[in-house]
A and B are shown apart, each in its own frame.
Chain A
Amino acid sequence: MPVVHGLLNLIMLAVTIWCYWRILNKAGLNPWWAYALLVSLAIAYLTSILQSPVVLFAPYIVPAVLIWIFAYIRWPSYEKSPGADEPNRYMPYQYKRSDVAPSADPHRTVNPKFGDAAADRDGRPRPGKKQ
């Protein structure tokens, strides 16, 4: 019977770790923190060996601390980088890079002997071309 009880506890711990993994993933945090719940297993084991009365609360100490920390820290996936939607000097070219020739990239040097249709179409000055 104690073996079955231990197995059930392990299954419950595995399910809880999987749930914590998903929750941490959603919040944009490192999901490996879910494995901190294994520490509670070690604490419960140690307190049971020492026959300490703390064994009653041992499995709950680490989850309680994790939940309190998680409730108050910032969640990275909920934050947008500042100024992401504001216009910037890279924006006019960003959405065009994937569908035009590589020479359309303003950071590349284009051989002036070859025509740059994308630059001509957009009205951008070409490096090396006299206006």
Chain B
Amino acid sequence: MHPVLLIFASLVFALVVVYPLMRICKRAGLHWWPALVVFVPIIGPPITAYLLALSRWPNHPFGR
């Protein structure tokens, strides 16, 4: 498959999920900008998940 098509699909996915990711960051007490990493083609979505998984959530009741 042509790489341009893969990048196009990744960007469409980023457009679809960037708003809920911003909302998740906001609920977790983080800044909204890590959600924009999802726009990096191919590796952006896993990196966003990695950021959310390993950062401390300030709004979490137990500070996890």
Interface of B is mostly: helix
Q: Which of the four size classes fits the interface of chain A? A: 20 to 34
Contact at B13–A68, with CB atoms within 8 Å?
A: no
Contacts of A80 in B (CB 8 A): 61
Whether B17 lies near A19 (C-beta < 8 A) is: no
The answer to whether A12 and B59 have CB atoms under 8 Å apart is no
A45 within 8 A of B: no
Given contacts A16-B45, A20-B49, A63-B45, are A26 and B60 in contact (CB under 8 A)? yes
Count of CB-CB pairs between chains A and B under 8 Å: 73
Does residue A90 face the partner (Cβ distance < 8 Å to B)? no
Residues of A within 8 A of B27 (CB): 71, 75, 78
Q: Is A77 an interface residue (CB 8 A)?
A: yes
Closest partner residue, chain B, to A24 (CB atom):
B53
A contact face: mostly helix, strand, loop, or mixed: helix
Determine the interface band of chain B, counting residues with CB < 8 A from chain A. 20 to 34
Interface residue? A22 (CB, 8 A): yes
Using a CB–CB cutoff of 8 Å, the interface residues on chain B facing chain A are 1, 5-6, 8-10, 12-13, 16-17, 20-21, 23-24, 27-28, 43, 45-46, 49-50, 52-54, 57, 59-62, 64
Binding site for B on A (CB under 8 A): 12, 15-16, 18-23, 26, 55-57, 60, 63-64, 67-68, 70-72, 75, 77-78, 80
- A-B residue pairs in contact (CB < 8 Å), sample of 21: A12-B43, A16-B45, A18-B53, A19-B50, A23-B52, A26-B53, A55-B1, A56-B1, A56-B8, A56-B9, A60-B9, A60-B12, A60-B16, A63-B17, A67-B17, A68-B20, A70-B20, A75-B27, A77-B60, A77-B62, A80-B61
